[in-house]
Amino acid sequence: MKKILLSAALVLGSVAAANAQIGFKADANLGFSNIDINVSQISPKMIPGYRVSGAVEIPFAGDVSTGLFYFSPGLTVLSKGAKAEAKSLAPGTKIEATARPHYLQVPLQLGARFRFAENMGVSLQFGPYLSYGFAGKAKAELTNSRGKIEEDINLFEDSFILDGSFKVKAPLERFDYGATIQAALEFSRFYAQVGTDIGFANVASDTNKETLGKENKIKNYDFFVGVGIRF
């Protein structure tokens, strides 16, 4: 019985020590997003956006004072999208649209942190992510000799435009996935970071694929810079 109790105490002590090493962090970032699309008539441009993240750090190797390796799952709320200009077949007609989808994103990253001075260090993280588009609209603008027409189009749901006389089906799928790479410079509990998301999924909806061609592909990507704090 004493051996069992001693073993249980050692296990509980190890778990408590491990839990004491788990860290939490939060950061706010400025993002710059764009899309990769293989439709020659559409020219996308980067737009600014937001990115707010929270994550935990679970160490599995190394030492805090020298080099630490950790697993970092988290939750991110961010905007993606792009501004695009479409070439029209009609002369004198210009079509522009700014699409801004909003996502909940779950990153699952591996990280490494190295100290090079007292209270200073650098960290590198990379890993996959899964995103769910919970909201988003595109503001479309058509200009020709007769004037200008502006419409808001839902990105993940069907829309009715032209005073409800015309139905536009959702242009994007809600789910996205890809990989994130980021690096941070740390001072005490604070850090500044840069990173990028590279989308692997074709987020064009089935309707959009049929409209623009079976080989049509739309992929998200973005860059971000921000500051954060560890707890």
138-150 tens-digit pLDDT? 898 888 777 788 8
Residue 212 has pLDDT above 60, yes or no: no
Number of domains in the chain: 1
Identity of the residue numbered 175? F
Query: Is residue 145 included in any domain, yes or no?
Result: no
Query: What is the structure's pLDDT at 163?
Result: 62
Whole-number percent of the chain with pLDDT over 70: 80
Query: Is residue 140 included in any domain, yes or no?
Result: no
CA 56 to chain centre: 17
Query: Is residue 45 included in any domain, yes or no?
Result: yes
For 2, the domain range is 1-83+98-132+155-230
Query: What is the structure's pLDDT at 5?
Result: 41
Tell me the C-alpha distance between 36 and 220, whole Å. Answer: 6
C-alpha separations of 80 from 26, 125, 135, 185, 223 in Å: 20, 21, 11, 25, 10
Summary mean pLDDT of the chain: 84
Q: Is 212 helix (H, G, I), strand (E, B) or coil?
A: helix
Query: Is residue 160 included in any domain, yes or no?
Result: yes
96-110 pLDDT per residue, tens: 889 999 999 999 999
DSSP string, 12-63: HHHHHHHHHH-EEEEEEEEEEEEEEE--TTEEEE-EEEEEEEEEEEEEEEE-
Query: Is residue 179 included in any domain, yes or no?
Result: yes
Question: Which CATH number characterizes residue 126's domain?
Answer: 2.40.160.20
| pTM of this structure | 0.82
